[in-house]
Chains A and B, each alone.
Chain A
Amino acid sequence: MGWLSRLVNGWWRQQGPQGDDTPEPEPVVMIVAPPEPDNLVELNPPGGRIHRIHPATMALVEEMSSYAEFVEVMQRHLHNVCNETQDAAENILGQALDVEGSVSDLVRHVSTTMQSDQFVEAAETLQISVDAGRGIISDLIHQHHTTQREIRDSISTMHMLSDKMKSHLREIEDIRRYTDLLAINARIRIAGLGSNTGLEVIAEEIRELSSNTGALAQNLRSELGEMDRLISEDLLARVTGQELADEARARDLQDSFESLSNHMSMLSRMQEELLTEVHLRGEAVRDPLNTLCGSIQFQDVARQQLEQVGRALNMISDHFVALSNAIIHDDAPPDSSIATCLSNILENYVMEQQRAAHVGGASAAAPRIELF
């Protein structure tokens, strides 16, 4: 409560009638100096005129004066809203740009890593090793086939030699039979000559020689048979078995290297796809971020609208103060009416939607972009 209303109200409490049936107060008579009693208000208008002001009017004047304080509070609220939306908008933008920065860093890191000399060199080295491994296996298989063919050739040669030896054995058998016949003939002739000629010993020696030759030939035949069996069955079976096993292992190795090579190609393809995808995703972040950056302009638009509301509040507050001063200090009344204030507010709008909201109509369809 201002000093003026306190004075007026104090005077009314002391001078006015008491009780529930209090009648409407009479207009107060205020005089210029000398202010004798405390319950009179001294005003100092030009010319020293005496004012009559009703206490209720004084209360209204006081009320009008307090609008300035009210507007100040409202201005602080508006200021807070502007500041908070400003901070929020900057935070949102900052975080969005941080996210974009992180995504860009990630894309750059993935690209750099996957296209780095080290990575490319490792992939190439691995591919070269795989190709070299496949070449070595191919050579080994070829060499193995050659060895197998040579072993089979050797076995054939051994068979041939065995056949030759059997042929020689047959000749030895013929010699044994001839020696046998010779021994029989010798014994017949020696028997014709009579006993004690000493030739019986020679005939016996010849017979024994034939017998030994026969036994030797028999042994040789038997050992040749065993050798044939070993070559034909055992050695050939082993060679064949080994050949089959080696071929199976070679096929496994070939399959492994083939698979390794396929996986290498697949990895290389996946690497390219990943790189493309990472780039695409990185690009895809741009659109929503651009939209966000565009949308965040609402803060600036809202701030300007709030500032306009603040200016309008100030205008009304100033108007009330001017009215109060006109009543209390006998100042000239404000130049403008509330209608004029509204008109000024309308003139000072910046945005088309503000003008439309003010007059309660639709926004004019002015082009939003115009190049001169």
Chain B
Amino acid sequence: METYLFYALALILVTFSILTVTARNPVRSAVYLVSALLAVAGFFFLLEAEFVGAVQVLVYVGGIMVLFLFVIMLVSIEALDRQPKVSRQWRTGVVLAVVLCLELSLLIFRGTVSLEEGLAEPGIITTTETMNTEAVGTVLYSTYLLPFEIASVLLLVAIVGAVVLAKKEI
């Protein structure tokens, strides 16, 4: 069952990824990308990492894609339409893609040992009994309470900084 689900999701992911880069209209591209990202979230659920899956949906599909769409709305689509469909650097692209494919297949078929060598046992969440959302919540509000809170100071500084630099009349 899981295997079939995996291949179904993989098919969706690959299809929509190809559509994302081939679509002429950037808005369509963005919507295809949303579908591709949802498929990735599906993989996380399949791995029983439902927290990461939910974050994937919330952050990537919800937040980052809306940001993309806003930017696309602000640029002129007509100008993009006139551009050539295939970039002039396609030869470089093909070479890089082949190299990447070789590298990945080497890692997948031959490199299991080298991937795991030198890695430690997973540390924080070892229990499989509780849902991992619960486990993440527990460590986030106990051990990692301070980093969690301090991250808000970081975000505050970033927001204030962006406003200071971008505000029209100071």
| A and B assemble together | no
